[in-house]
Structures are given as structure tokens and as C-alpha cells.
Amino acid sequence: MVQMVFWALTQEQRLFFWANRRPSHQGLNLWLSRWLGTITHTGGATFTLLTALIGALAAPGMWGTAGWKALAAVAISHIPVAIVKRKFRRLRPYQALAAVHTCKKPLCDSSFPSGHTTAVFAWLMPWLLVDYALLPVLLPLAMLLGLSVAWSRMYLGLHYPSDVTAGAVLGSLTSALVSAAWSSL
């Protein structure tokens, strides 16, 4: 059992360092740093809550309802994130590992789970469920956004792969439950 845990931790660190690396090509490095340094903010509370509220108030019909669902899902998903972060005081990668690339103002609270990844996945799901005919167009865009936020959290040295995976699952699950409860009203 100890060997399995050690193996899993080693693999997670390898995956983290792969996501945290900087490309040797200067142009690609600059583009990637700008993209991930910007897109990470779409997982923040300000972006997810504000855009959900704007959608709820301004969008017509089912799109407005999706805004309300996204707002509720993001707000509700922050509760388990706050509880788990307090219970599992996991150091962020830049605090625990050597040679980690990090952002200018790194966070200091617990890394598990990723709140940004939780929020963006909680925010995305209601928009995907509005019109199933649009799913072939919306799903790739949603995956690009969600996975970019998740990758950005590792790229910036703030989260491990298990942090962002747990965040994606928690956000998606919360959003699915909110949407299911909303439908039963």
C-alpha cells in the first residue's frame, strides 16, 4: 500500500512538472504565459459570479435560467471548497517543491481542491444544458475553457493535478445537482 501511494505521488509530481514547464521557444513561451495567465481569471469568483448574474438578468428565456443556475452552482460549490481547504491543509506546489515556476502573487491558502477549477466547471455546466442541439459547438468551447483554467492553475505553480481534478469533479457535480433540483421545481 505504501508503494502504491508513493507511486501515485511520484506520478502526480511528474504530471505537475510537465504542466508547470515553460517552453524553450521564446514566442511560444510568451503566448502560453499570456494565455494561461489571463484565462486563469475566468475561474475566479468575480468572473463566474458576475457573468452568471449578467446572464441571469439579461439573457432571454432558458439562457437567463442557465445564468441563475450557474450563479447558484458557483455559490454553492464554494461551500465544500472552503470546508475541504480548511480540513486538508495541503501546501501549494511552489511551497512544497523545488524549482516550481510560479506567478507574481502566489496564493498561500491550502491547494486542495482548486477553487478556480471548481468555479469554472460549476459555471460551465448550466450553459451546456440549455439546448442539446448546440452541444457539438458548446462542448469543445467549454472543454477548452475549463481545461485551460485547470492547466493554468498548475502552470502558475498553484495546484497539483489532483487539486484541479477534484475541483472539476466538484464543480460539475454541484452544477448537475443544482440543474436537476431546478428542473424538479
pLDDT at residue 110 in the model: 84
Question: For 24-42, what is the mean pLDDT?
Answer: 91
Residue 78: pLDDT band with limits 50, 70, 90: very high
Residues in contact with 86: Cβ distance below 8 Å, sequence separation at least 6, in sequence order? 110
Per residue in 109-138, pLDDT tens? 888 999 999 999 999 999 998 989 999 999
